[in-house]
Structure 1
Amino acid sequence: MFVNTNSGLFTHLGVFTLGARADSYYEYLLKQWIQGGKKETQLLEDYLEAVEGIKKHLLHRSEPGKLTFVGELAHGCFSAKMDHLVCFLPGTLALGAHHGLPADHMELARALMDTCYQMNRQMETGLSPEIVHFNLHPQKSRKDVQVKAADRHNLLRPETVESLFYLYRLTDDRKYQDWGWELLRSFNTYTRVPSGGYSSISNVQDPRNPQPRDKMESFFLRETLKYLYLLFSDDPDLLSLGTQIKMSILKFIWNCKGVPE
């Protein structure tokens, strides 16, 4: 995840995650391959190798609900920790399958989409926290999803709704629209500000006092609401998947150049 800008060498070795600081790399291996006309084979090879590595080392199932999730490795030790950011992955896997990659990528996309939905559904506000930990022991808890006090905030992130958009466009399964509608209703109930706009909240587990932070990241307007709008449209030409990939890559380039979210 970290590179020394003087030496070009990696630092903090031994930490593997698809969450914060690493997620965009995996997402744009695939999207840049597609955007480049599928000519940069090294990108595709790296993406396929990464997916196999995820399946071998990071993929587990929770208890008691058997939710498929992507954890982390730190110096050889597995952690059942999954950032909300990882919910970009169902959409990316589905997009890859749409472009001819193995069919089991779509199966995994569906399973992870169910998990990302449950990360929202199992919270009292219906909104996912920034980070969850999954239960791996049948006798330990009746809940699959567990949240630490420091991780209970929701920043209005777009990853889940982006994946819902891709899954709906590629499967025509209306449950993904229904799940998006549930999310929008939760946003309206717990994050909408009466005077205008929406606010990040500090506690997704307290519907009586979700603790608004008086801060709305620009990605909520630029991505979260955009994907919800597209999700609820039945017009596949409203914004084609090819156009959407171009916009997504432009966003990544802007961020790399230091343009704020």
Structure 2
Amino acid sequence: LLISNNTIFLVSKNNKIYIYIFFLEFDEAREWVSTSFNLDHYKDVNLFETTIRVLGGFLSAYHLSGDSLFLDKALDIGSRLMPCFIKSPSPIPYSDVNLISHMAHSPKWSPDSSTAEVSTIQLEFRDLSRSTGTQNFENVAFKVSEHIHTLEKPNGLVPIYINPNTGKFHRGSEIKIGARGDSYYEYLLKQWIQTGKSIDFLKDDYLEAIDGIITQLVRTSPKRNLTYIGELKAGSRNFHPKMDHLVCYLPGTLALGVHYGMPSSHMRLAEKLMETCYRMYADQPTFLSPEIVYFGTNTDVNQDMYVNTNDAHSLLRPEFVESLWYMYQISGNKTYQDWGWLIFQAFERHTKVAGGFTSIGNVLDPEDTRPQDMTESFFFAETLKYLYLLMSDDRHMLSIDKYVVNSEGHPLPINNR
């Protein structure tokens, strides 16, 4: 099957292999891409996932190796994704497309697209345009950002669903920094950096959003004073003290912003969030974070941070180790290396199996972790890559002054325009 696990693994891992300087493995991966990677299958793919994982992987491999084979593959996949934009009646693209028929459509379960998904493709499509000289890729992707900029956003925060037919947010949908909302905020900053800090509205929207997060979503737990980010429920927009592991990307993004001149108060928030994300690991008997944690409120002081059994699984997600890398590269504080090493040891103890690593169904009991016999591609493309970079003797092995890293861990060059 096209873009099966093996295919995504190999494409997502290409630039990781090159960073590791395992030249034999890189050559083997290149040979597979040259002879076996095939897009001619009658299969629907997701615009967002294919962009950040496959398109981003090819572009990054091209920039790190200079090998035009990867740019050719990137151009092919980028062209096949274009109907998502072209066939939408608004600047908001459809979420899925068939690689043979070129039929683009919303997901089967909803007429809406995820806000994070449609706003987390711009780095890749811009880089594809600037690498190939074909401007239309950047144009259609950036129109999404321009359009969202014009929409009403309470306190700079976006609902997590947006409709490609109307171009409007789904009224009353949740507001959160975790699933389906997260990388909208990340790519505001990273687009601004990628374009040499030349597009003012991206910076303005980012600053407004961070202010909105601070005033609307940041809370402190009653017992240990852990700073966390909650959600606003659908419909009522009442506060919900729930935090996805996905939110742990934010301290790294905040630190990156401070590195590029954002307010120093953002770093203080980043440091507090890092402590909370660390506790999401350290509080568990396995030293592995669950998918979601909940926090007690001032009226519920018997519980501080707790885990529901339905949320106790671990997909070996990268967000916290990504933030560890950013925080260490920017601050030089070796505590972040120490935390990363503890997490890696927990991966080794509880998730390593013959031939690789596996997601687990239960982080609450070291004797009953319930291995899931599956591994997400982001474990290789991001989690292990960020751990490798974090532990490298060269703190600036991958310089954040030269590269902006996409949402799947693939570095792309910074331009001055």
Question: How does the TM-score come out when normalised to structure 2?
Answer: 0.58
Task: Say if 2:373 is the partner of 1:214.
Answer: yes
Alpha-carbon offset, residue 15 of structure 1: 1.7
* Secondary structure in 1 matching 2:357: coil
- Any idea what SS the aligned residue of 1:132 has? strand
Give matches, 1:10-29, under 5 Å.
10-29=169-188
Matches within 5 A, 1:70-89: 70-74=229-233, 75-89=236-250
> Does 1:160 pair with 2:320?
yes
Report runs of 4+ in structure 1 exceeding 3 Å deviation.
Answer: 137-140, 246-253
**Greater CA radius of gyration, 1 or 2?**
2
**Partner Cα separation in structure 2 for residue 214 and residue 201 of structure 1:** 8
SS at structure 1 position matched to 2:262: coil
Matched, 1:185 2:350: no
State the alpha-carbon separation in 2 of the partners of residues 227 and 185 from structure 1: 15
Q: CA deviation at 1:139?
A: 6.1
1:113 to 262, 274, 291: 274
Q: Per the alignment, in what secondary structure is the counterpart of residue 293 of structure 2?
A: strand
Q: Distance in 2 between matches of 1:222 and 1:149?
A: 28
Contact 1:63 1:138 survives alignment (8 Å): no
The match for 1:92 is 253
Q: Distance in 2 between matches of 1:235 and 1:250?
A: 18
One-letter identity of the residue aligned with 1:207: P
Paired residues of 2:161 and 2:173 also in contact (CA < 8 A): no
Q: Which residue of 2 aligns with 1:101?
A: 262
| Equivalence for 1:256 | none
Q: CA deviation at 1:237?
A: 3.8
| Aligned residue number for residue 239 of structure 1 | 398
Separation in structure 2 between the aligned mates of residue 60 and residue 139 of structure 1, nearest angstrom: 14
Measure, in 2, the Cα distance between the counterparts of 1:244 and 1:37.
11
Q: How many Å apart are 1:248 and its aligned residue?
A: 4.5
- Offset from partner CA, 1:199-224 (integer Å, 9 cap, x none): 00011001101000001001000000
CA RMSD of aligned residues (A): 1.8
Give the whole-Å Cα distance in 2 for the aligned partners of 1:239 and 1:154: 27
Shift of 1:111: 0.4
Q: How many residues align?
A: 251
5 Å matches for 1:56-67? Answer: 56-67=215-226
Q: Which amino acid aligns with 1:99?
A: Y
- Structure 1 Cα separation of the partners of residues 399 and 247 of structure 2: 24
Name structure 2 gaps, 5 residues minimum. Answer: 1-159, 413-417
Residue of structure 2 equivalent to 1:257: none
